[in-house]
Amino acid sequence: MKRSMLFLLIFWSLGAIAEDDSFTTISCAPDDIILTDTYFKELQQQALGLATELCLHSLHLIEDDNDNVKAEIKSFTDKASDEYMKAFPETSFPGIKKIVGQWRYQTNHFYEDTDYTSLINILDSLQPGNSRLKFQLPPLHEHDLDFTLTPNLNETCANLQNANNCRSAAKQFRYALSPAFYSYRKTVLKNNKKKHDELVTSWSLFINKSRYQWPWEVWATTQYYKGEFSGSSLVGPPKIQLFLLHPTFVVERVDNLERGSRDSVAVALEWGGMNWWETGIGFSLTSVYWDRKEADSVGHGFTLHIKNKYSIGFVHRDDGNNGVFFNVDLAEWLFDNKEKYKSYQEYF
């Protein structure tokens, strides 16, 4: 018992010494956006939520990244399109249906080109005798509109609550929709492009190199790094993987037994452990169960993980029939490697 406790103390001490505290993190919370009061309050809140989702799923390492963002964008553009058509009806603003349709299409295909995160710019010109209202949609500008603001058009726009004319109606939309892509453009594409590239690279390495963890082990690891895995942030992969009650199979050899009884497949449980996946070294406290008459069924010892692929270990039995084993972790074969990223993404 004393030896086990000593080993455990050394084990966790190694973790504290070997850990690199540097963590690449990008906050996705749009907390630096100054919101202006608008009639479209629900649409504005939806835009804020979309801004966060765009950032959190911007690594595009799994298909779910696109699927989640597509769902959020569809809901957002459906709502905004309906409001556009109510505020600027086709009967009074011929062509509005086409430009709104173009915006809706290209926004829902945002992942093809970052320019497709644009909004319809509603511009007004109040030159004496030539007041105009323009609808412009970059980058293609295929269906841009230009209207002369007449009293009738202003009266149509005034049907919108809190809008006295088309100019104030346009502001209502700007205030509601502008937060949608602000955070993504500023946080990901402008201020943190280098960090973002680092996150893509580091998670790709983690997906391909690290050991598989069960959901409760991912939870334990995020609790260990709770300072990083908290809030709405893009976070790099953990420096250390924690193992907790990790079931697996091993092929064990007990040399003290007679030939024909020395080798067998056994069930193993890694009670707790750590893996420095980048350097390719890890340890686990392990118990092995092998039901047989020739030796005690249960042995206790440790596992050494090498290069995230190979695991060898030693177990002690009270009857002296100690064993050496090789790990056969079926989880590495049964599950898609990208599940590793997906399981951590839930804690972003």
Contact 115, 138 (CB under 8 A): yes
Asked if the model's pLDDT at residue 10 lies above 60, the reply is no
Spatial contact of 38 and 175, defined as CB atoms under 8 Å apart: yes
Query: What is the Cα–Cα distance from 157 to 89, expressed in whole angstroms?
Result: 9
pTM as predicted:
0.78
So what's the pLDDT on residue 58? 85
Confidence band (pLDDT; 50, 70, 90) for 222?
Answer: very high
197 close to 189: Cβ distance less than 8 angstroms: no
Residue 300 confidence (pLDDT) above 70: yes
pLDDT(64) > 90 = no
The mean pLDDT value for 215-234 works out to 89
Select the more confidently predicted residue: 78 or 265. 78
Q: Give the model's pLDDT for residue 217.
A: 96
Number of H helices, E strands in the chain: 11, 11
78-82, 128-132, 260-264: lowest mean pLDDT where? 260-264
Q: In this structure, are residues 210 and 277 in contact, taking their beta carbons and an 8 Å threshold?
A: yes
Indicate the pLDDT class of residue 20, thresholds 50, 70 and 90: low
pLDDT score at 32: 62
Range of weakest confidence among 134-138, 174-178, 329-333, 344-348: 329-333
Cis before 89? omega within 30 = no
Q: Residue 315 above 50 pLDDT?
A: yes
Q: How confident is the model at residue 7 (pLDDT cuts 50, 70, 90)?
A: low
- Structure tokens that stand for 66 in this block: 């696109």
pLDDT > 70: what percent of the chain?
88
What mean pLDDT, rounded, does the chain reach?
83
Residue recorded with tokens 């005034």: 158
Highest mean pLDDT among 106-115, 159-168, 315-324: 315-324
Instruction: Specify the higher pLDDT residue, 8 or 302.
Output: 302
User: Looking at residues 153-167, what average pLDDT do you find?
Assistant: 81
Q: What is the pLDDT of residue 25?
A: 85
pLDDT score at 113: 61
pLDDT-based confidence at residue 329 (cuts at 50, 70, 90): confident
What is the spatial distance between Cα 66 and Cα 112, in angstroms, rounded to a whole number? 11
Of residues 336 and 95, more confidence is placed in 95
**Do you know the residue count of the chain?**
348
